[in-house]
Structure 1
């Protein structure tokens, strides 16, 4: 825990400079130090005053108490440490504010007598102490309120953060503001969900309730739609926006959002984007050709994904020989991963694919080609005497399926995969 804390504190100087009104990087000439300032503050120096010495000792006691999970003791020392706010040393005060923020919230998370008022007091004090990363503290505060069910309070804090400005807006400040707006819209979505649940059943035709839902939908959709203009991984935000679009039957917009999220090269590679698009298309009975197209892309990035079982099944339903060959490849690649080694459904799928492949004259050639790169390690992964004993004890049906395939997959190799009790 302390290692993680010190790692976070190592970023203090960067966090402070993110929102600075001027560009200090060039004037300082070189990279900023990334050493954890908490370590520097615990080292005695020749110019140390009595004030600094007492606060340094206090910090050492706090860290020691936290390291041994003595949270009451840590809290008592922590009550004295904020006197560092009185330190007028320009080069160090910003570090102390970050330290107080991180240590205080960590202690509150673990102290058994912590109340919501304690969190609110700490967050508000740090936010208004002159620390420049006000936005990130506000976001963390709203997360804590959200986790405890205070959704409206969380939204109120984010609304306040949206109107906050410090000096000349920097690129980092702009990005954090977009993050604040995105999470505020996510809270609007959560409230929208609550309204929808309340209106379910006989109350669904309530005009006032429906109007409230519409208002929250509009509030949420404005910023959620803007997300696609900022490349990144926005999974929960995209899903929330699509759910609302789907509810109001705006299927063209929902499909546009999902297609952009999956295929826009400005976004980083994200397998989930293709999963979301596939699930949407499947819900709306899209043609198999479209489903196969989406899963084909997912297969390239994550060949072990659970949806590869559906991909192979879709390929199996096709009459094209190339699709049957592809289905063999897809299932074999799933079984290349240990997580699927004992999965009965995957082995059954492989058996079904092989059986359909055997209707083609060149089926042996196809199987040999697929297994050529696997012949040196696949038998050890799937067809040893150890696997035989384990499968016969835990899943006899799995053993039956695998036994029926071993000669087809490895015809020129003597395998030790045999029924329990047989000397191999």
Structure 2
């Protein structure tokens, strides 16, 4: 709808130029809601009719009158006959966006209607050819027309126009999704192969062919900086199936550590999950999660990171684990998570067993939090909410005086006397 609004505003602005008074001053513009643009002497009848038509389309769409919008839309494409070459590309994109949106919501739209619109808009100009084709493919895949989608991809592969950056990037994107479609077909063949009692060599050969087609493009695509998450996962899955573990690890390492790629927490998640499947060492797993912690300290894998640190023989790693869990609990999404609070208690207990000055270490780590942590975790409101989970309340209550020793906290059981739990789990009256 923003495209329609911008188009109407530009047309309205051209109308307002005719309202300039003889003294060179514009008439004051009063807010009159959303009136229909009026006819001006500078506007031809052709432009006036298409402008009013666009206004009616917008109103119909805003009120979900899709049949009415479709009827008006049948006339608006005459804007493509405008001889003003500067505005024609803008009209093409508006017609493309409006048409597909109306068909998406219209109760009687058919696949043939979509195909007609997409084909007409693809051949109305070359600027958006690849992106319209890709959207067309998505629609075909959504409705299960796999073979038709493959034909569209083949047409895109042979299409060439210009040598600008935008077209080059669109071509790479088309190649990536073509490879993803090969991967989907490979998965279907793999599933058929696994359910076959007598292993069919022809199915294995088909799988190998689809793997080669997919990997050839994916190998090149993942060299270009970008966020390629679904393509990386597909490529790695196929490589693992064929036991090419070295290549899979290289792909994931490059994706995670290549500085030319944008920072992407998922890249480190995928590398960690792969290494975990391959039974990598604790030290190597912790190294990957260390970077993930720097990017997303609230990530759910931080529980595993803190667990890996607790398994270390280094005392400093236990202190790091304390900071990791506290960083998680800085975020409201972990506020009522029992696992996070139990992990925090386990870390402090381990510090208590290994460090004489454990209280000082805890307070030093909490130094930047003492002003706002009580309000985040230890109010009477939190006590009321946590009372539905007695185990959570018990763990938090045992930690409140350790974490905030100099603060009067109202985190107590509803209507009860002042009861606290020590780190050992015994109640202190």
- Give your verdict on TM over 0.5: yes
In structure 2, the residue corresponding to 1:199 is in which secondary structure? Answer: helix
How far residue 55 of structure 1 moved from its aligned partner, in angstroms, is 1.8
Is 1:314 paired with 2:308? Answer: yes
User: Distance in 2 between the 1:184 and 1:38 partners?
Assistant: 38
How far residue 37 of structure 1 moved from its aligned partner, in angstroms, is 3.4
Bigger fraction of residues in helix: 1
User: Distance in 2 between the 1:94 and 1:298 partners?
Assistant: 44
1:32-75 residue CA offsets vs partner (Å, 9 max, x unmatched)? xxxx3353346555343222222222111111111111000000
1:340-386 residue CA offsets vs partner (Å, 9 max, x unmatched)? 00000000111111111101212112111111111111111111111
Is 1:380 paired with 2:380? Answer: no
Q: Is the 8 A contact 1:145 1:151 kept in 2?
A: yes
How far residue 216 of structure 1 moved from its aligned partner, in angstroms, is 0.7
User: Distance in 1 between the 2:376 and 2:52 partners?
Assistant: 57
Which stretch shows the higher mean deviation, 382-391 or 149-158? 149-158
1:90-145 residue CA offsets vs partner (Å, 9 max, x unmatched)? 23322222221111001001101111111011000111122422011101111111
State the partner residue of 1:40: 10
Is 1:125 paired with 2:120? Answer: yes
State the partner residue of 2:322: 328
State the partner residue of 1:71: 66
User: Distance in 2 between the 1:46 and 1:199 partners?
Assistant: 72
Q: Is the 8 A contact 1:192 1:213 kept in 2?
A: yes
Cα separation, partners in 2 of 1:128 and 1:45, compared to 1, 3 Å: farther
Q: What TM-score comes out, normalization by structure 2 length? A: 0.88
State the partner residue of 2:293: 299
How far residue 423 of structure 1 moved from its aligned partner, in angstroms, is 6.6
User: Distance in 1 between the 2:155 and 2:40 partners?
Assistant: 41
Q: Is the 8 A contact 2:319 2:351 kept in 1?
A: yes
User: Distance in 2 between the 1:413 and 1:84 partners?
Assistant: 70
Q: Is the 8 A contact 1:181 1:223 kept in 2?
A: yes
State the partner residue of 2:102: 107
How far residue 83 of structure 1 moved from its aligned partner, in angstroms, is 2.1
The counterpart of 1:60, out of the listed 48, 55, 58, is: 55
Q: Is the 8 A contact 2:8 2:55 kept in 1?
A: no
User: Distance in 1 between the 2:408 and 2:55 partners?
Assistant: 66
State the partner residue of 1:240: 234
User: Distance in 2 between the 1:302 and 1:277 partners?
Assistant: 15
How far residue 89 of structure 1 moved from its aligned partner, in angstroms, is 2.7
Asked which structure has the greater CA Rg, the reply is 2
RMSD: 1.6
User: Distance in 1 between the 2:311 and 2:272 partners?
Assistant: 18
Cα separation, partners in 2 of 1:210 and 1:339, compared to 1, 3 Å: same
Is 1:135 paired with 2:130? Answer: yes
User: Distance in 2 between the 1:363 and 1:248 partners?
Assistant: 50
Which stretch shows the higher mean deviation, 105-114 or 223-232? 223-232
Cα separation, partners in 2 of 1:358 and 1:204, compared to 1, 3 Å: farther
User: Distance in 2 between the 1:313 and 1:323 partners?
Assistant: 10
Q: What TM-score comes out, normalization by structure 1 length? A: 0.89
Is 1:395 paired with 2:365? Answer: no
Structure 2 gap segments, 5+ residues each: 16-38, 419-429
How far residue 290 of structure 1 moved from its aligned partner, in angstroms, is 0.6
Which stretch shows the higher mean deviation, 185-194 or 84-93? 84-93
Cα separation, partners in 2 of 1:266 and 1:249, compared to 1, 3 Å: same
User: Distance in 2 between the 1:129 and 1:51 partners?
Assistant: 20
State the partner residue of 1:225: 219
State the partner residue of 1:30: none
How far residue 86 of structure 1 moved from its aligned partner, in angstroms, is 2.7
User: Distance in 1 between the 2:114 and 2:276 partners?
Assistant: 45
User: Distance in 2 between the 1:397 and 1:341 partners?
Assistant: 14
